[in-house]
Chain A
Amino acid sequence: MEMKEMTYKDAIRLGMSEEMRRDKNVIFFGEDIGLYGGAFGLSVGMLDEFGEDRVKDTPISEAVIAGAAAGAAATGLRPICEMMFMDFVTIAMDNLANQAAKMRYMFGGKAKVPMVMRLPAGSGTGAAAQHTQSLEAWLCHVPGLKVVTPSTPAQAKGLIKAAIRDDNPVCFIEHKLLYKEKGDVPIDEDYIVPLGVSDIKKEGTDVTIISYGTILQKVMIAAQDVEKEGISVEVVDPITLYPMDIETIIKSVKKTGRAIVVHEAAKTGGLGGEIAASITESEAFDYLDAPVLRLAGLDVPIPYNRNLEAAVVPGVDEIKNAIYKVMNR
């Protein structure tokens, strides 16, 4: 496969642009996405290429952004809409959860709602409590929505394309701290990362760590560190958070006998609990040598002060300690 190095942010733009070239019914709207290029400069240049009919600035109105995406999707378009920050999905939630997610089922399978909502998430930016949340569990709790989140530039490009081509509402969660991360990205226009398929990022035999998003980088560092001490870690990135490819995770845990879920989002009600329960309910239970651990953000709003902010999210040392714990070391 021919590759080109690019950032996570550029990969998302490339994926969107390719799909917009391919299908003229794909349109894109949100706050300050046109001339300004989005709050993070992700969509710079798209207005020039696709024009105002297809790259549309909206007023500051998250409710109608989500609702208009749903309505347009149900009537022939394939809209991509953007929440400037994931935190603002709270305002869009009625249209997303009560309209977009339920239309098809409620109407007896008659509607299709092929929309994508892009949601920049995560802390570490100093933007304080209302601009840093990781609300993926809220979204996963609404049947009818799909929820995906790429952790590399290649995934970002392939996954946004798959999300746009999907006939359902897909919440595409982006990680602000990954925007500038570089990686090799397939330039093939048919390269997609299918929804519902997880990625084994690293093979191992002693412990399975399930993790996604920004914190996955810390997991990889911890895994490499403990490797030197003779602990072999398998790392699984689910990529699609709902509906999750739990089979791959179960298979891995049957092999390793130990599992830790690591995410940045607050622990209580987070996906960690869901994944842990899915493991213990499965045939992997009989293979477990230790309780399944959850390592997650503290149950607090994200504070502004740098040190406090850093203290909310698990660090490499905490991940290593969790590994030692399940290894009984």
Chain B
Amino acid sequence: MALTKETLLEMYFRMNEARFFEEKVAWFFARGMVHGTTHLSIGQEASGVASCMALKKCDLVSATHRGHSQVIGFGLDLNRITAELLGKETGYCKGKGGSMHIADIDSGNLGANGIVGGGYAISVGAALSQQYLKTGRVVLCFAGDGSTNEGSFHESLNLASIWKLPVIFYIENNLYGMSTSIDKHMNIKDIADRAKSYGIPGIVIDGNDAIEVYETIEKAAEHTRSGKGPILIESKTYRWSGHSKSDAQAYRTKEEVEEWKAKDPIKRLRKYMIENEIASEEELNKVEENAATALEEAVEFAINSPEPKVETVTDDVYA
């Protein structure tokens, strides 16, 4: 299915929403309005949004600690995402999860994960359900480059490969796991090469190219949906911000950051649509404005939402 104008505009809208959201998150933290920590995905919007949008509505996603673009791309409600960030009762997790745990199992969002590599195995299980129940749904498992050094990566890819499970292991390689650059944490250049040892396809893509991300995931979903087993995709991208709230970024140069800022995935999609005469400057400006408005409304919703009642602290431990 070729990318329609409608889809492209929606993608552009969500990528802008994600960017505005992250900027707002940084703003909240700078003012001490949110406690805990957060991991911004500015710079990774194409990778997070376009990938989710290439799925069918019914498909499942497991997100990471750097998951805001991913859940916005998946189409979760911005109001409830923002409310969760502020720990409000109306948030997706009733204020119990926060930035690192935004989830909506009912709609197939298996949750962001505070455990690096925590998504691999549960994605395998979710894919097993789909295979067993013959739902025709697939699982998109987000993970970071650093997480591929956890044992669960190996165990999960191996199991998924022998059971031919419908899961896409989607690695957002932003060149660093916290302060550790990929050349210091692994002995190979492309994580996709690891696919060989499981006898599954491994593909490297430009994660800042929304079109390439979309088309690759669409094909991968088809592949795994048809019973051919899992697939490993490495999406090369970059995070503009520090790892988390507190990061002096001594491990990388300003030049490197600037270089990647020049590869802004949002500007790139905009340029693509204009050059290919898919949308006009005015149309795209309007989309951006709409995204900004959506965010303002979400922030207002979140701020005006009630705090969870303290008595709820013991709710929901068991079914």
A36/B178 contact (C-beta < 8 A), A298-B314, A308-B312 known: yes
Residues of A within 8 A of B250 (CB): 35-36
Indicate if the CB atoms of B95 and A304 lie closer than 8 Å: yes
Indicate if the CB atoms of A303 and B313 lie closer than 8 Å: yes
Residues of B within 8 A of A126 (CB): 34-37, 98
Interface residues of A in 124-161 (CB under 8 A from B): 125-131
Indicate if the CB atoms of A35 and B251 lie closer than 8 Å: yes
Indicate if the CB atoms of B151 and A61 lie closer than 8 Å: yes
Chain A minimum-CB-distance residue to B117: A60
Shortest B313–chain A CB gap in Å is: 5
Q: Mark B105-117, 1 if CB is under 8 A from A, else 0.
A: 0000000011111
Residues of A within 8 A of B147 (CB): 60
Q: Which stretch (B2-10, B13-21, B161-169, B180-188) binds chain A?
A: B180-188
Shortest B311–chain A CB gap in Å is: 9
Indicate if the CB atoms of A128 and B98 lie closer than 8 Å: yes
Q: Say whether B223 faces chain A, with CB atoms less than 8 Å apart.
A: no
Q: Say whether B308 faces chain A, with CB atoms less than 8 Å apart.
A: yes
Q: Say whether A299 faces chain B, with CB atoms less than 8 Å apart.
A: yes
Residues of B within 8 A of A130 (CB): 100-101, 113-115, 118
Residues of B within 8 A of A311 (CB): 310, 313
CA distance A39 to B37 in the complex (A): 12
A128/B101 contact (C-beta < 8 A), A57-B184, A60-B117, A304-B96 known: yes
Indicate if the CB atoms of A63 and B146 lie closer than 8 Å: no
What's the dominant secondary structure at chain B's contact region? Answer: loop
Indicate if the CB atoms of B87 and A306 lie closer than 8 Å: yes
Shortest B302–chain A CB gap in Å is: 13
Q: Mark A279-309, 1 if CB is under 8 A from B, else 0.
A: 0000000000000000000111101111110
Indicate if the CB atoms of A60 and B114 lie closer than 8 Å: no
Indicate if the CB atoms of B180 and A305 lie closer than 8 Å: no
Chain B minimum-CB-distance residue to A128: B98
Indicate if the CB atoms of A307 and B310 lie closer than 8 Å: yes
CA distance A32 to B115 in the complex (A): 16
CA distance A305 to B115 in the complex (A): 19
Residues of B within 8 A of A87 (CB): 114-115
Q: Say whether B201 faces chain A, with CB atoms less than 8 Å apart.
A: no
CA distance A307 to B35 in the complex (A): 11
For B185, give its contact among A60, A128, A300, A306 (CB under 8 Å): A60
Indicate if the CB atoms of B317 and A301 lie closer than 8 Å: yes
CA distance A306 to B308 in the complex (A): 10
Residues of B within 8 A of A35 (CB): 179, 250-251
Indicate if the CB atoms of A308 and B96 lie closer than 8 Å: yes
Q: Say whether A88 faces chain B, with CB atoms less than 8 Å apart.
A: yes
CA distance A91 to B147 in the complex (A): 13
User: What is the interface residue range for chain A against chain B?
Assistant: 35 or more
Indicate if the CB atoms of B146 and A304 lie closer than 8 Å: no
A128/B150 contact (C-beta < 8 A), A35-B251, A298-B314, A308-B308 known: no
A305/B150 contact (C-beta < 8 A), A35-B250, A60-B116, A130-B115 known: no
Interface residues of A in 33-51 (CB under 8 A from B): 35-36, 39, 41
Indicate if the CB atoms of A60 and B177 lie closer than 8 Å: yes
Indicate if the CB atoms of A308 and B95 lie closer than 8 Å: yes
Indicate if the CB atoms of A127 and B36 lie closer than 8 Å: yes
Chain A minimum-CB-distance residue to B182: A59
Interface residues of A in 5-52 (CB under 8 A from B): 31-32, 35-36, 39, 41
Shortest A253–chain B CB gap in Å is: 31
Interface residues of B in 295-319 (CB under 8 A from A): 307-308, 310, 312-314, 317
CA distance A127 to B314 in the complex (A): 18
Interface residues of B in 53-86 (CB under 8 A from A): none
Q: Mark B250-288, 1 if CB is under 8 A from A, else 0.
A: 110000000000000000000000000000000000000
Residues of A within 8 A of B313 (CB): 298, 300, 303, 308, 311-312
Indicate if the CB atoms of B149 and A125 lie closer than 8 Å: no
Contacts A35-B251, A303-B96, A305-B308 known; list 18 others, CB within 8 Å.
A35-B179, A36-B251, A39-B178, A60-B149, A60-B150, A60-B185, A61-B151, A91-B150, A91-B152, A125-B36, A128-B97, A128-B114, A300-B314, A304-B93, A304-B101, A305-B95, A307-B308, A308-B313
The 8 residue pairs across chains A and B that have the minimum distance between CB atoms = A126-B36, A126-B35, A304-B98, A130-B114, A59-B149, A305-B87, A36-B179, A305-B95
| Residues of chain B at the chain A interface (Cβ within 8 Å) | 34-37, 87-88, 93, 95-98, 100-101, 113-118, 146-147, 149-152, 177-180, 184-186, 246-247, 250-251, 307-308, 310, 312-314, 317
Give 24 CB contacts A-B under 8 Å: A31-B178, A36-B250, A39-B178, A57-B180, A60-B149, A60-B177, A60-B178, A62-B150, A63-B150, A91-B151, A126-B35, A128-B100, A131-B100, A299-B317, A300-B313, A304-B87, A304-B95, A305-B98, A305-B308, A306-B87, A307-B310, A308-B95, A308-B313, A311-B310
